[in-house]
Structure 1
Amino acid sequence: MRSISTVVRDYSAAVLAILALVALGGGGLFLFFDRPDLASLAWYAGTGIVLAALAVEILRSLSKGHFGVDVIAGLSMSAALAFSEPLAGAIVALMYAGGQQLENFAEGRARREMTALLGRVAHTSMRYVDGRLEEVPIENLCPGDRILVRRGEVVPVDGVLLSERADVDMSALTGEALPVRLSRREEVASGGTVVGSAFDIEVLRRSDESTYAGIVRLVEGAQQSRAPMMRLADRYAVWFLLLTLAIAGGAWWASDDGTRALAVLVVATPCPLILAVPVAIISGLSRAASRGVLVKSGGALESLARIRTAVLDKTGTLTSGQAGVVSIRSTGVMPEGEVLRLAASLDQASNHVSAEALVREAKVRGMTLSTPADIVETPGSGLEGRLDGHSVVVGGSDFVHGRCEVGDPYMLGRDLPPGTAVVALGVDGKLAGIILLSDRIREDAGSAIRAFREQGVRRFVLASGDRTDVVEVAGTLLGVDDIRGDLLPGEKVEIVLAERKNGPVMMIGDGVNDAPALAAADVGVAMGARGAAASSETADVVLLVDMLDRLPQALAIARRTRKIARQSVLAGLALSLIAMVVAAFGYLPPVQGALLQELIDVAVILNALRALRD
């Protein structure tokens, strides 16, 4: 939601623009009816009102340490009144007030995707209490509560799906048009819209800790930020003001004609500096948000445009972040599929990571799992129990080998690739087979790195806390330039700092242990779709959708935005400077100069809005 100060500013700009337009139009009407005295009075009044409002704005900016080029607009209006050129003053007043309103409109257009994120916050939810439903504020929801999310509603908090399936539209967060289908016990992220039947979820986190609440905080921060180019524009303003005064003063001194100085001031009103940069930056931020990449500030967007080196975490960033079945080896006692089915059936009783991987794989393959009985779990080692009348044991090689009279898991598990975990299965005292698990490289990791290289990122460093041999396998497959394993969080920070000597560095990670390195990088990118909250809060950029290819797209958007902003400023100032010289030689009267400057403003803003498009 927009802040009160923003609403007041937009409302004031609209009122001021209307008053300036009424004064200019009213004066023209009086002139048509042959009342030049009343026409001048209307123009004087309109110019005076806008000038007074501008003076207040200038003083407010100066009190905050910001020196803007709108000082020139104030000087031109003051000079118009002093030189008895009320029509020129009224046109400049309309140009300034209309320019502010045009900027508000352009920024509103540019913020569309970001504003859409803020406008989707749920305020109440239907909670089950003693078997009945009651509507409660989402602030009252606690972990463990069961709530109903109805068709068309926004998921209010993060939760675990209790119904068999759910269809959720995540387009506002990810930019993907197709709904996401979720199955029972999968996590449902807040912020999506229910497009299928209603479903129940169990609350995982309080509303202020949920995914969407964090995104809202990040968006609000991004909207309040000032980009370095915007601060640079303020510094340019001082020099531009001095140049303007020099040209205006020189024209007056050489010609002894004050209207030439006035004409110079009128065409010098540098709206390209006032309008172009913020409109372009907000357009870029909004465009990135529409692709599922939340850039927290204009400064981060500019830094992203300069990136030349990327330091990458492995687990959860370039890999899936969860173990997956890569191979099944059977001793011949039963088919490979039955080895997986029995192991997964018994592992339903465990919450170990490898157990979850087996159950997940069996469900993907459409297997019907049996219900285990007489379960005995040895934490960290394995489980024993009965399935379909058989004595079954599943777990690590040592655990299963010690409980089987026939078969050796180590013989079956020879020649394993680095980073592979083994789950063994024994049935009725005989080794039935082993299942190989590994954290697989994401399918989009290689293409994302290639896309980054096409965007000018020259160097990639894979930095991970995993074993070096495992990291080397992943790094070699992906073709990165440097591979580091067995790293502590502090050592990742040292790598980031060392790489900065080669140019701006981007760090991409998803875990709590990545947060220090993300903070140390020029641009920290958090895998917010499934990453830890600490990394998302520390990072400059948050990937809202679990798709790596969106990051190279965001880099392209950032570079194009920076190019368009510079283009708009340089072209606009060049045109203003040419017009100033023409006015200084007396070939551009104040009124025509004001109209010309308005055309330049419109052209500059339209060019800045190109950052919204691909």
Structure 2
Amino acid sequence: MNSSQPAGDDSLAWQSREMAIAVFTVVMIAIHLVLRFAIGTSEYAWNVPLWLVLGFGGTPLVWELLRKIMRREFGSDLLAGISIVVSALLGEYLAGALVVLMLSGGEALEAYAVSSASSVLRALSKRMPAVAHRQIDSTVDDIPLSDVAIGDTVAVFPHETCPVDGTVVEGHGVMDESYLTGEPYMMSKAPGSAVLSGSINGESALIVKADKLAMDSRYAKIMEVMAKSEQQKPQMRRMADQLGAWYTPLAVAIGVAAWVATGDPVRFLAVMVVATPCPLLIAIPVAIIGSISLAARRAIIVRDPAALETADTCRTLIFDKTGTLTYGEPNLVEQLCVEESRGPEILCYVSSLERFSKHPLASAISKAAMESGCVVHGVSEVSEPPGQGLTGKVAGHKVEVTSRKKLLAIQPQLSDHLPQQAGGLECVILIDDQYAATYRFRDTPRPDGASFIQHLGPRHKINRTMLVSGDRPSEVQYLANQVGIHDVYASQSPEQKLEIVNAETAKANTIFVGDGINDAPALMAATVGVAFGQNSDVTTEAADVVVLDSSLQKIDEFLHISRRMRRIALQSAIGGMAISIVAMGVASAGYLPPVAGAILQEVIDVLAVLNALRVAIPPKSLIDFEKARPS
């Protein structure tokens, strides 16, 4: 977003105005060309559409110019405003109309990709239910969420979003809390279990007692952090503004010097015409739009064009854990059997039984069994009392899947025979009432994580990589060791994540990569926020870039697209300005009249734009680290 653009609802009005000016200008220029070349009317008649452009389109831009002069701001659009005035004074109305089109059109091209940060809060609000199902005795009534009082019992139906922070008083099931906590698994819920507002309920209805008011819930706190993050994030100074900051005063100084030295105001006008910063106003937006198109073809959606300009300048890359460097789902990683030779047999028994379970780890066991080619056995007498584990008869054997705690409550003598408890999740297996194995589960790291992390410094000048997660320390440290990250922060709330990102961004430009609602404040606070996947509309609204195909290769592609866009855009802009500066010198010496200068400037513009168009041509490869090999 241009540094002069307003924010919030005012930004939407501003974007609409720029679009309207651009469309109006195109229509009026078309009418001018028809009147001049097709119909052959008088000069007065064919100039009327151009006067309307300068009046209705140029006047707001010139007014903005005057406001910038009062604020002592000198950007590329400031020189465009001067060029509009100069063109009108010269009678070069078509040239002035083209400058209006360039200025408003360049902004309009970016408008579709620029999102208002307040839309994040709207998406966050929409995600929460407006009503809660309050239960009194056997009656369930829908009431506004704000009317729920502490101690009320609320029904949460299957697949609904939990409206309150509370405690389960009735029912058994699972909830997906990963968007809020960073825990990558479906969490079992039974009477006495705590639940968080914003969690997604599973397939069973739960009755929850509200422990907090809606305004004090975990979800509401995230909204508060989001609003704070929105207000505190500084506007990035765009590339065109940085270049225009020195180009504009230089052009004005050359023009004024020529006027003062010769006493001829036409010299000043000639310099201004040839100095029109079209390489900044057109070439840079063309390079940005071309790069946005290239990224989109690779399943990378760039929502804020400023991200393309600044990503290559970032020196710190901060990762959330779940769903970014991992797949966000449990996998069976260890099978610790009393008799190692019986490992395949035990897995076949357990997986045959787990087909009848809805436990969050059942799918991980079934997946491991499928990969191992396990035989499916007949199962009978299946029983899974809530919170008591899973039992059944498999191929004539009694098979039981339970927890370490429940096993030791029944057979405390096994405490010395069980393997030491480690990070991640686990379950224990009994065959015919005898302890047989312990299964361990983890959120498996992506196989190319280590090579991706290692190449960031040499290839992308990333000086620091960090892992900041809401997950447990043992899980986060396990992943960090696997991929080679040394700066690790675990058990971090959204507020703490925001503080870390703000602190790091104050030191150097940052990229934050995340995929949950708990990541949204950090995504907004980072210099560039990258959201993995489309798991949450809140996350994608908060991010500057959305990677639809969740893979580290796409992050690498985005970094290369950013670097390539920045290089080509600078070539186009600086090259065009360098030629313009030479032309300004010729014009100030009186050898380039205004009309000829306008024609020369158009040639410079074409060269700059043609070079900028190269960004849309896909290179041979945008990945330069060792990709994961198919398993």
Same fold per TM (> 0.5)?
yes
**SS of residue matched to 2:382:** strand
Matched, 1:419 2:423: yes
Alignment of 1:576-591 (within 5 A): 576-591=580-595
Matched, 1:356 2:360: no
Counterpart of 1:599 (choices 591, 603, 608) is 603
Question: Is the 2:472–2:490 contact (alpha carbons within 8 Å) kept by the matching residues of 1?
Answer: yes
Given that 1:383 and 1:394 are in contact with CA atoms closer than 8 Å, whether structure 2 keeps it comes out as yes
Output the amino acid matched with 1:592. Answer: A
TM alignment of 1:511-526, pairs within 5 A: 511-526=516-531
In structure 2, the residue matched to 1:70 is 80
Taking a change above 3 Å as real, the CA distance of residues 77 and 603 of structure 1, as seen in their structure-2 partners, is same
Query: Paired residue for 2:447?
Result: 443
Cα contact 1:17–1:98 (8 A) shared by 2: no
Q: How far, CA to CA, are the matches of 1:6 and 1:593 in structure 2?
A: 27
Measured against aligned partners, the alpha-carbon deviations of 1:473-532 in whole angstroms (never above 9, x if no partner) come to: 322332223223343443333332333343122222223333333333333322234x44
Which amino acid counterpart does residue 363 of structure 2 have in structure 1? E
Q: 1:15 maps to what in 2? A: 27
Give the 3 Å change call, closer, same or farther, for CA 251–460 of structure 1 in structure 2.
Answer: closer
Inter-partner Cα distance in structure 2 for 1:501 and 1:4: 33
Q: What SS does the corresponding residue of 1:465 show, helix, strand or coil?
A: coil
How far 1:593 moved relative to its partner?
A: 1.9
Q: Which amino acid aligns with 2:469?
A: S
TM-score by length of 1: 0.66
User: 1:442-476 CA deviation, whole Å, 9 max, x = no partner?
Assistant: 11211221232220111112223344344333223
1:395 aligns with 2:388: no
How many angstroms apart in 1 are the aligned matches of 2:375 and 2:555?
Answer: 39
1:455 to 2:455 alignment: no
Q: Show CA shifts across 1:378-426 (max 9, x none).
A: 4345112233443221122344566789x95863x5367x425432222
Q: Which amino acid aligns with 1:485?
A: A
In the alignment, the residues of structure 1 paired with residue 351 and residue 571 of structure 2 have an alpha-carbon distance, to the nearest angstrom, of 60
Shift of 1:103: 6.2
Name 1:562's counterpart in structure 2: 566
Measured against aligned partners, the alpha-carbon deviations of 1:229-252 in whole angstroms (never above 9, x if no partner) come to 55x746876876665555445545
What is the match of residue 491 of structure 1?
Answer: 496
> Amino acid of the residue matched to residue 30 of structure 2?
I
Decide whether the 8 Å contact of 1:328 with 1:433 is kept in 2. Answer: yes
1:269 aligns with 2:272: no
Contact 1:55 1:74 in 2 (8 A): no
- Indicate how the Cα distance of structure 1 residues 398 and 541 shifts in structure 2: closer, same or farther if over 3 A, else same: same
**Partners of 2:342 and 2:103 in 1: how far apart?**
73
**Closer, same or farther in 2 for the Cα pair 1:380/1:525, shift >3 Å?**
farther
Corresponding residue of 1:149: none
Q: Is the 8 A contact 2:520 2:539 kept in 1?
A: yes
- 2:482 maps to which residue? 477
Q: Distance in 1 between matches of 2:386 and 2:251?
A: 78
Paired position in structure 2 for 1:319:
326
Q: Contact 1:51–1:77 (CA<8 Å) still a contact in 2?
A: no
Partner of 1:79: 89
Are 1:294 and 2:301 matched, yes or no? Answer: yes
Asked whether the 8 Å contact 1:507–1:518 carries over to 2, the reply is yes
Residue identity in the other structure for 2:79: V
2:49 partner letter: I
Seen in structure 2, the aligned counterparts of structure 1 residues 338 and 46 have a Cα distance that, compared at 3 Å, is: farther
Residue 379 of structure 1: which of 374, 383, 386 is its match?
386
C-alpha distance in 2 between matches for 1:15 and 1:361:
64
* Aligned partner (choices 68, 92, 95) of residue 92 of structure 1: 95
Amino acid across the alignment from 1:572: G
In 2, distance between residues paired with 1:432 and 1:335? 9
- TM-score calculated relative to the size of structure 2: 0.65
- CA deviations 1:310-338 (Å, max 9, x no partner) are 22222332222222122334444974223
Q: Does 1:550 align with 2:551?
A: no
Structure 2 residue 520 is matched with structure 1 residue 540: no
Question: Residue 321 of structure 2 aligns to a residue in which SS?
Answer: coil
Is the alpha carbon distance of 1:327 and 1:238 closer, same or farther for their aligned partners in structure 2, counting shifts above 3 Å? Answer: closer
8 A Cα contact 1:271 1:601, kept in partner: yes
Q: Distance in 1 between matches of 2:452 and 2:605?
A: 39
**Does the aligned pair in 2 maintain the 1:279–1:608 contact within 8 Å?**
yes
Question: Which amino acid in structure 1 is aligned with residue 399 of structure 2?
Answer: V
After superposition, the Cα gap between the structure-2 partners of 1:21 and 1:355, relative to the gap in structure 1 and judged at 3 Å, is: same
The Cα of 1:534 is off from its aligned counterpart by: 3.8
Q: Deviations over 1:181-238 (max 9, x none)?
A: xxxxxxxxxxxxxxxxxxxxxx9xxxxxxxxxxxxxxxxxxxxxx98455x7468768
The answer on whether the counterparts of 1:451 and 1:552 sit within 8 Å (CA) in structure 2 is no
Q: How has the CA–CA distance of structure 1 residues 99 and 494 changed in structure 2, closer, same or farther, with 3 Å as cutoff?
A: closer
**Distance of aligned partners of 1:257 and 1:520 in 2 relative to their CA distance in 1, 3 Å threshold:** closer
Matched to 1:611, the amino acid is: V
Q: How many angstroms apart in 2 are the aligned matches of 1:439 and 1:504?
A: 30
The residue number in structure 2 matching 1:53 is 53
Contact 1:461 1:480 in 2 (8 A): yes
Q: For residue 600 of structure 1, report the CA deviation from its aligned partner.
A: 0.6
Counterpart secondary structure, 1:440: strand
User: What is the rounded CA distance, in whole Å, between the counterparts of 2:493 and 2:105 in structure 1?
Assistant: 51
* Distance in 2 of aligned mates of 1:325 and 1:234: 53
> Quick check: 1:507 aligned with 2:512?
yes
Q: Distance in 1 between matches of 2:260 and 2:519?
A: 63
Residue type of the alignment partner of 2:50: V
Contact in 1 for aligned 2:28/2:50 (Cα 8 Å): yes
User: How far does residue 297 in structure 1 lie from its aligned partner after superposition?
Assistant: 0.9
Judge conservation of contact 1:526–1:541 (CA < 8 Å) in 2: yes
C-alpha separation in 1, matches of 2:507 and 2:244: 32
Counterpart contact for 1:10–1:104, Cα < 8 Å: no
Tell me, yes or no, if structure 1 residue 611 matches structure 2 residue 604.
no
TM-superposed CA distance for 1:568, in Å, is 2.7
Superposed displacement of residue 603, structure 1: 1.3
SS at the partner of 2:419?
Answer: coil
Return the alpha-carbon distance in structure 1 between the equivalents of residues 388 and 314 of structure 2.
45
Deviation at 1:584, TM superposition (A): 1.9
Amino acid at match of 1:464: S
Q: 1:56-102: per-residue Cα shift (whole Å, max 9, x none)?
A: 21223356767643334423432333xxxxxxx36636854886899
Distance in 1 of aligned mates of 2:462 and 2:248: 38
The aligned amino acid for 2:559 is L
- Inter-partner Cα distance in structure 2 for 1:329 and 1:380: 23
Contact 1:95/1:598, CA 8 A, preserved across alignment: no
Unaligned runs of 5+ in 2: 1-14, 69-76, 114-156, 160-202, 204-233, 620-631
**Partner of residue 347, structure 1:** 354
**Letter aligned with residue 345 of structure 2:** E
Aligned equivalents of 2:526, 2:373: Cα separation in 1: 44
What SS does the corresponding residue of 2:609 show, helix, strand or coil?
helix
